[in-house]
Structure formats: structure tokens, C-alpha cells
A and B are shown apart, each in its own frame.
Chain A
């Protein structure tokens, strides 16, 4: 397949402006004739649906949640970036663009990333107008902080609940359009198939989760804003229901999947305590500003943390990275923690944890200052672990957090199926091989508020549509296929639960397709995953029926998709014989143990094409060109 990213020509600062001018328009009085389906109501979906509704299109929003406000975006803590330069520290659109390209380890597109930086300022204005109570100073101006190792303060935040406030802002705009009648909400519905007719995305089939009914919906365009796939690993910081089904099923209908192996592991999460554990909780990485990370020097040291004298502690990040110390980027901090635990130096019951110690900061600044900065995090930690971080060091360990990979889209955010748009974490676009802190919220809202409304108009205005309704055989075929799949699940009546399979799959991914990967391990994963998948289809036990609220059945469908996606993740990781950002291949590292890119051979987006069941996916390449930010080796020594 020939991939055309459709990045406009011309100087980087003018690309978006010129492109907007070139886009076709839809006359305001004609817009209500177009039906647009938006699947997902997180930051990306809610902002897109509200904005498209305001423009006058007929929008249909689907979510498996009971309310748009429950989407996973609600959990984001830290903040959202925008180069407003309110702090007068020399920020600019160009600098944010530069940082994002470099942070992504040169595996994203310059054109897209520049546009992201360019529109991000408007997001803040929009949210303020909606009533988002961002942090302010006493004079009433917006406050900024530095986040995720950034050298300047460009992060806007609302306490530790930024995602919640941004989502509630988008949700309120959405609610307003629902009231106005331009948007119709379909809650507790799960999209289970994309319907493609004569090469165009023309609708979806969804299951009504309350009564189990199959429902078909036709439209002129379909937008997927369905989030990331970190939960393939079973344990992650994502909400329990976050899943890959929408993008995976669209993939099987022809949408290429970009860089599936690019996953992000967050260094500061509360470690696992037992086999029953259902998810991992993120502790904001702002803790690394004042916390010192260490392990005992002696292997198997069973003393309590506070009984280990200073001279017997290894502050390994400070030792290895004298200039960045505890503030090295996420991927580096995560890998070092894993290594040190793999060597047997880990702490806590499971030995899979390192200490993050606030004691020195408390000594230096006083408990009050630390409580002011991290009070809510310390409370959260105490709630979960019953330990007081003001008294004993916290135990932390890396966890899967975000997926940079996703459906491949062009500059217009359109997938390889015409009429299918993919926004937010669900697409692969702007973060390359590693996402910087506070930039996912920015991207989701940029896509929804300020990019899609234009590119959608261009598509609708420039496309001929045959009338299609849900009586079309394509809808019937999808419904039949899904009904068969559900019947199959319910008929297996095996011995293992869906969760047991999911946990086993997650372990394979974590062990071999996780933080550090190598050829032998990936090959092993590629043998183990299909084997386990075979067992799943023979031995899973899904109880209940298909015509009622049935969480087991919902999970079964999602896990079935994870099995297939996991294989693609492993395959992608195996083929990419280099290390970059979150993708670390042990064979390719510098002498200092840092990721070693191979720009000559791998400066491209790997866009995988579905070739049919049990067939090897086809690799397509979109070469990446860098005209402004010239690739160099990242170094944090």
C-alpha cells in the first residue's frame, strides 16, 4: 500500500494555515444533512463531538460508559502543556515543537507536531472559557509549573486533577450540544465493528450493554476516539475498561496500525502487592523533583529502610546521571529501576520496588512545604499501602501507562479507510517513540477542538456519498459475525476465566514485550501468544447470556482482541532492530546503556496491514524526514 501522509508543502510555520485555507468547506445550511459517528467521549471524543455539533453537523456519540464523564481521561493528574510563555522563560511554539520531536526520539512527523504546538495555546483559552478552574496566583493570573523534566514552566494544571477538569469542560460543552439537539448520546454501547461500504467508512455495529441487542448505525464518517491499549498488559495505570477493540476491529477492516510496539512505561507507580491486584496506581512524577531514589547496596538486605545507614544506600540515578539525577526521562528511570530489581537489589515484600525517599527534602524544606507540594499524593499512597511517606520512603515501580502506537492517520487525522478518522490516544500520530509528560491531554484536545472540525469539513465537502442505511448487507454481515462470536464465547464453557487468560497474556507481554526487549524473548512471545490464544478459544468460561448486562462477555471480546494485537506488538518490536524512546532492544544500546537509534534503517513509521486470520501482517513504511530538528543522540549524563 502506498502511504500518503498528505503533509502540506512549505515552511513549517505556514503549513497548517495554508492547509486550512485549501480545505473544502461545507455550507452551514448543509451541515445538518451529514451524519457523523464519534466513538468515545474522552477528551478527544467529547471535544470533537461538541465542536462538530456546534458547527451544525448531526453527531452521534457512543461510549460504553454510563456517562461521557467517566472516560479514562478523567484520571489524568499532572497537567497540560501550552507554550503561552506566561512564565517569561523563553517558551515558544517552536520550542515546544522541538522538545516534542526530540522527546519522541525522532520517530514522529515534524508537520503534525508543529501543528500540535501551534494550536495548543487555544486549548487553554477554550478551557478557561468553559469554566475550568486552573490554578491561579493571587493576582488572578494562570499559574504554570515545570513538569516531566521540562526545562521551563509551561504546564497548566488544576491541582492533581487536570484530566478531570478538562474532561468535565469538554463534557459540559457536549452536554450543551445534546440539549441543543445537534449531538445524540448513546451510552452503555460498545462498538464491535466498523462498517465499510464501497471503500468508505459508513457506520458501526454496537452492542447495547444493558439488553445485549445488536444495533447498527449508518453515517457519512466515523471518528474513533477510543483511547489507548495499555491494558493489553492486564496491569496498567489505565482504567479497567480501557481497551483496543474499536481500533483493532477497524484495523481488521483495513485501517493500518502504526508503531504498535511503542508503549510507555511510567517510572513512579505503586508496586504490585499480590496476585489479586486489578490495576496499578500512578504517582505523579513530580515526586521526582524532591524525592531521592535508592536501593540498599547489599543484596537481600532485610532491614527496614530507616535502619539502613546513608553509607549503605545506593542512590543509583544520582550515581549514574550526575547532572540529571532523579529527573532523567521516564524511559530511562523505568529501565534502571527494572535492572536494579532484576539484580536482586529490589525492596519490599516482592522485591520488585525501589525507594523514593522524601526524608532529605523534609529535612531541608520542612514537612509543611512537602505536604503542600505532594499532600494529595502522600495521602493516596497511604490509603493504598497503609504506610506514611512522611515517615518511611515510598516504594515505587514502573508500570505500563500509555501507548504511542495506534491507528495510522494522515495529516488530516484520517486512517487508510476513507471516512474513518482517529483522534486522541487511539491514533499513532504525534508522540513518536516516547510521549512527554502533559502532552497527551494537549493532543487529544487539539485533535478534537482544533484539527478535526476542519479536516472533517474537507472530507465531507469533497466526497460523493451514495445513500446508505442500516439495511445494507454490510451491516447485516457485521451483526451476524458478532452474534456468532458471542455465541461461540458462551458455548465454550471451559475451565478458566477471562481474567485468568488476560493475566497470563499480560505476563508474557510484560516479560518479553515490556521495558527491555530482545530477539530471543520476542520470538518466544511470538510462540507463546498464539498458543495461549488457542487455549483461550478452547477453554475459556464465559457465564451468563448474551441478552443482558454481562461484564464477562464484554471482557471476553476485549481479551480476544488483545491476543491478536499482542502478537502484532511483538512482531513490530522484533522487526525494529534499534532502540528508540520507549522501545528498548537490549541488543542496541550505547556503552552507557542508553537507547541507540538506527536512523539509516529505521527512520520510518511502521504501518501494519491486516492480511487475514493467521496470515502474517504486511509491513508498510512511511519514511520520516527531518528538515528542522536534526536527529541527534539523546544524552542525560
Chain B
């Protein structure tokens, strides 16, 4: 099939950027979306033109590198998948596809479709851990974690840090990302000791980075490739409330 692409091109952070049209010919339905872009890029290089820059690595939905707005949707059509798991069979011959980077003040554009998500790093550094030093920890079975708790924690822990939640949110809120980590560590007994400082520090850093507020829009859950539930945001809100009380 043949596809028309309108791709956001921006040479560097200071460039204004624009949508540029490309024709992708003879696209196989077996291709992944990123493989389709590979082919477009290969042709661009052959013509001596600058290929489209986009982040990607594992190409199996786990590293969180990829992330494109495809026809206005974070990670494109389909539920529970990252951009790299999107295949061309879902598109129609002759379709026009608009491809843009994540748009959020806290995620400045580096080039074309590549954005800077290091705001997430700083939030993690603020408190996304337990302070267990190497060595000197008890046996893995010393503290029991019942299966349902472990499963809930695992649901939250499966966040890949892609930023789709932020891109999908009309307020560019990072609540789902932060809540996933806060919730995982609040659920597990190993994380309980530091729950107060953790939630306060992480939320504080989130605000400093310029992410917006949550207005219960739930677009984050709808576009999250790992289908992380907004119930984790509710748990974080409780944690935050509790922490404020404990602190005072």
C-alpha cells in the first residue's frame, strides 16, 4: 500500500519546525510503523537528505524509548502498545498519517521527533527508590509479600517511562508516571519506611519540572502502553495526603 506521511521536522531546539510531506510507497502490511519509517529514511539518505530523527531501541515495547504522536494519539491507534509495536496492517492504502513528537513544556524537542525526557530522571532521583545499600539486606523470604500485593505492585512497576501519559494529557500532567512508582513502593513492605519523604519529594520535583495538574481526564490511562490504571493516582493522592499530615 501507499501512505502519505506528514512528519514534524525541526533541526534543533531553536528551530521553529514544520510538517513535511513524504510519500511512503509499497508499504508491506507486515511492517511495523518504525520499519516503515526506516524505509522512508533509507530513501532519504540515498537522496542525500537528512533522515527523520526518532528515538527507539528495543522495538518490543519495553525500553520506553519510542514515542510518537500518530494522528494525534500517543503511540498511535490501538490500546496497550508502544509505537514500536504498531503495525502497518491497521492503516489503509492511501491514508494520510500525521507524525509528531510528544508535546509538553517539560519535554523540550531535541530534533524532529526526539524529545528530552530527563525531567523523569530528576523525579526518580528525588525519591523513586528504597535506600537499600548493596549487601546488608535480609533474605528475600524474610519479609512476606502476599501474591495479590506483589501483583498490584508489579502492575505499577511495569511502567516503561515513555511519557505517553504526559503527551496524551491536555494538561501535560505526569501524574500517572509518578503515581506508578509511588504506588509500587507504597504497596511493598520494603518501600514503606520511606513512604513519607518519597511521595513529598517526587511530587515536589514533578511540580518543579513544569508538568501540569491532573484534572481526572484519564487520557493517560487510555494511551498508556502498559495500561497502568488511574487507581494508582488515587493511591498516590492518599499517600500525599497522609504524608502531609504526618509531616505536620
Residues of A bordering B, CB below 8 Å? 47, 50-51, 54, 65-67, 69-72, 74-75, 84, 86, 122, 124-142, 158-159, 161, 164-165, 168, 171-173, 175-176, 178-179, 185, 187, 210, 239-241, 273-274, 276-279, 281, 380, 383-384, 386, 449-450, 453, 493, 495, 497, 499-500, 541, 543-544, 548-549, 551-552
Chain B, interface residues (CB within 8 Å), range: 35 or more
Q: Which of B36, B42, B65 contacts A499 (CB 8 A)?
A: B42
Closest to A545 in B: B50
What separation, in Å, do the CA atoms of A51 and B132 have in the docked complex? 11
Q: Which A residues are in CB contact (< 8 Å) with B30?
A: 273-274
B64 with A139: CB separation less than 8 A:
no
The 9 closest A-B pairs by CB, nearest first: A140-B144, A172-B129, A129-B132, A129-B137, A133-B153, A133-B154, A128-B140, A136-B150, A51-B134
Q: Which A residues are in CB contact (< 8 Å) with B139?
A: 125
Q: Contacts A172-B130, A176-B131, A549-B110 known; A137 to B147 CB distance under 8 Å?
A: yes
A274 with B28: CB separation less than 8 A:
yes
What separation, in Å, do the CA atoms of A295 and B61 have in the docked complex? 31
Q: Which A residues are in CB contact (< 8 Å) with B121?
A: 67, 175, 185, 187
Can you offer 23 A-B residue contacts whose CB atoms are under 8 A? A54-B133, A65-B65, A69-B161, A70-B64, A70-B65, A75-B62, A86-B141, A126-B134, A126-B137, A130-B129, A140-B144, A140-B150, A165-B154, A273-B28, A276-B38, A278-B34, A383-B81, A383-B85, A497-B45, A541-B46, A543-B44, A543-B51, A552-B45
Q: Which B residues are in CB contact (< 8 Å) with A239?
A: 57-59, 63
Closest approach, in angstroms, between the C-beta of B41 and any C-beta of chain A?
8
Q: Contacts A124-B140, A133-B150, A497-B45 known; A70 to B111 CB distance under 8 Å?
A: no
Q: Which A residues are in CB contact (< 8 Å) with B85?
A: 383-384
A172 with B128: CB separation less than 8 A:
yes
Q: A74-B63, A276-B38 are in contact. List 17 more A-B contacts (CB 8 A).
A: A66-B117, A69-B63, A69-B64, A70-B57, A70-B65, A72-B58, A84-B140, A126-B132, A129-B132, A133-B150, A133-B154, A140-B146, A175-B124, A187-B121, A384-B87, A549-B53, A552-B51
Best-buried of B62, B64, B116 by chain A (most CB within 10 Å)? B62
The stretch of B92-100, B182-190, B209-217, B237-245 that contacts the partner chain: B182-190
A164 with B158: CB separation less than 8 A:
yes
Flag whether B20 is at the interface (Cβ < 8 A).
Answer: no
Q: Which of B135, B140, B157 contacts A165 (CB 8 A)?
A: B157
Closest approach, in angstroms, between the C-beta of B44 and any C-beta of chain A?
8
Residues of B bordering A, CB below 8 Å? 11-12, 28, 30-32, 34-36, 38-39, 42, 44-46, 48-51, 53, 55-60, 62-65, 81, 85, 87, 89, 110-111, 114, 116-118, 120-121, 124-126, 128-135, 137-141, 143-147, 149-151, 153-154, 157-158, 160-161, 184-185, 188, 190-191
Q: Which A residues are in CB contact (< 8 Å) with B158?
A: 159, 161, 164
Q: Which of B38, B87, B111 contacts A549 (CB 8 A)?
A: B111
What separation, in Å, do the CA atoms of A134 and B146 have in the docked complex? 11
B12 with A548: CB separation less than 8 A:
yes
What separation, in Å, do the CA atoms of A210 and B112 have in the docked complex? 12
What separation, in Å, do the CA atoms of A384 and B35 have in the docked complex? 12
A129 with B57: CB separation less than 8 A:
no
Best-buried of B85, B141, B149 by chain A (most CB within 10 Å)? B141
A75 with B140: CB separation less than 8 A:
no
A139 with B134: CB separation less than 8 A:
no
Q: Which B residues are in CB contact (< 8 Å) with A51?
A: 134
Closest approach, in angstroms, between the C-beta of B76 and any C-beta of chain A?
13
Best-buried of A133, A281, A449 by chain B (most CB within 10 Å)? A133
Q: Which A residues are in CB contact (< 8 Å) with B59?
A: 239-240, 278-279, 281
Q: Which of B31, B46, B130, B131 contacts A274 (CB 8 A)?
A: B31
What separation, in Å, do the CA atoms of A625 and B219 have in the docked complex? 61
Q: Which of A47, A187, A386, A549 contacts B118 (CB 8 A)?
A: A187
Q: Which B residues are in CB contact (< 8 Å) with A165?
A: 154, 157
Closest approach, in angstroms, between the C-beta of B29 and any C-beta of chain A?
8
Q: Which A residues are in CB contact (< 8 Å) with B12?
A: 548
Closest approach, in angstroms, between the C-beta of B169 and any C-beta of chain A?
20
Q: Which B residues are in CB contact (< 8 Å) with A171?
A: 124
